[in-house]
Amino acid sequence: MTLELRERISLRPYNTLGVEACARWFAEARDDRDVFAADQAASHLGLPVMALGGGSNLLLTRDVEALVLHVCSSGVRVLSDDGEQVLIEAEAGEVWHPFVMQTLQMGLAGLENLSLIPGTVGAAPVQNIGAYGVEFSNVCAGLTALDRNSGRLHDFTPGECEFAYRDSRFKHEPGRWLILRVRFSLQRTFHSRLEYGPLRQRLAMQGIERPTPLDVSQAICAIRSEKLPDPKVLGNAGSFFKNPVVSVAEAGRLSREHPGLMAYPQVDGRVKLAAGWLIERAGWKGFREGDAGVHQMQALVLVNHGQATGSQLLRLAKLIEADIVERFGIHLEMEPILV
């Protein structure tokens, strides 16, 4: 089948914030051939390609003058299995949570803490998704991407991806790399990661002393469903700001000035602050201006109550950022990708 190019398509159904923006051109890629065809079509049109997965980490503030390529490829395969370590490859369009569940049902550990994160496998490396003490980079065994500069496929090692906290090289080279498939190194033996207090407490409440990966996944799904608004009900992109990482001296100054400051020492000797705590302390929780707002229960989550535009959400984000600088001297950084 040839690639179907559609002109001027509304992206509202394709982003979890539910904001309106129009794609100049739009196509769906089900396999590598579609991706190569889209790459060529975009070159003929003189436009960039913007890969789109589940649209759960995007803030669209205007129409997108690009060929928006909705990556819908599917397929999961075992590349090797030595009885303990299993190398799995998944196509970029696989939806993340069902893929996680598939690996757990195969008896493999490694992805349980990343349960219920929206989006696709292909987008996971872009911001090095993370939750409950685990990051994508902890299980990444490499990936294959099309380089739009050379028209060639490139196999990345994890090191070449330059992963950092909610960051990778793909975030800094927008439009260059189209990720086609991702490889994961998973284990049969389970080494639980239960540093996160509420997770330990929930398992303890259930009387589970030695949890299986599935127990951990279920506990995390339950906590996440209580804590985060469902984008199908209330438009949002999850955490809107990264947690700022500061020096020990700065964290010390802040906790003297602001008793109760939530701060977590990091392995590199610095300290991660809870951005949600700063925003809540500054009084933004539940704030609403028109349809752009801050969630009632979770200050880190900006929400679209209905008809908010991307620009209105961005304006609100900028007001919050400026206020946090003024009150705490801390610069917040947005987590979703600004288009």
As annotated, the active-site residues are: 166, 239, 335
Query: What does the CA dihedral 293, 295, 296, 297 come to, rounded to 10 degrees?
Result: -170
CA-nearest of 165, 190, 338, 175 to 264 is 165
Residue 46: partners with Cβ closer than 8 Å, 6 or more residues away: none
Tell me if 308 contacts ligand FAD by CB under 6 A. Answer: no
Q: How far apart are CA 251 and CA 255, in angstroms?
A: 6
Scanning residues 210 to 269, which ones bind ligand FAD (CB under 6 A)?
A: 228, 231, 236-238
Q: How far apart are CA 293 and CA 117, in angstroms?
A: 22
Q: Which stretch in 77-85, 124-132, 276-284, 323-331 sits in contact with ligand FAD by CB under 6 A?
A: 124-132
Scanning residues 59 to 78, which ones bind ligand FAD (CB under 6 A)?
A: 71
* 35 or 203: CB nearest ligand FAD: 35
Scanning residues 100 to 119, which ones bind ligand FAD (CB under 6 A)?
A: 117-119
Per-residue contact string for residues 127-166; x = within reach of ligand FAD by CB under 6 A = x-xxx-----------------------------------
Tell me if 56 contacts ligand FAD by CB under 6 A. Answer: yes
Q: Give the pair of three-digit tokens for residue 269.
A: 């000797």
Q: How far apart are CA 47 and CA 112, in angstroms?
A: 39
DSSP 188: S
CA-nearest of 308, 271, 275 to 293 is 308
Where do the H-state alpha helices sit in the chain? 32-45, 96-105, 169-172, 197-205, 213-227, 248-257, 275-281, 310-328
Q: Which of 11, 21, 38, 52 binds ligand FAD (CB under 6 A)?
A: 52
What residues are paired with 178 via a beta bridge? 146
Tell me if 54 contacts ligand FAD by CB under 6 A. Answer: yes
Q: Which of 90, 126, 143, 219 binds ligand FAD (CB under 6 A)?
A: 126
Q: How far apart are CA 126 and CA 120, in angstroms?
A: 11
* 254 or 275: CB nearest ligand FAD: 275
Shortest Å distance, C-beta 147 to ligand FAD: 11
Tell me if 120 contacts ligand FAD by CB under 6 A. Answer: yes
Q: Give the pair of three-digit tokens for residue 258.
A: 């602001």
Shortest Å distance, C-beta 53 to ligand FAD: 2
* 118 or 310: CB nearest ligand FAD: 118
What are phi and psi for residue 142, nearest 5 degrees? 125, 175
* 15 or 309: CB nearest ligand FAD: 15
* 130 or 310: CB nearest ligand FAD: 130
Residues contributing to the site for ligand FAD (CB under 6 A): 16, 50-58, 71, 92, 117-120, 122-124, 126-127, 129-131, 170, 177-179, 228, 231, 236-238, 337
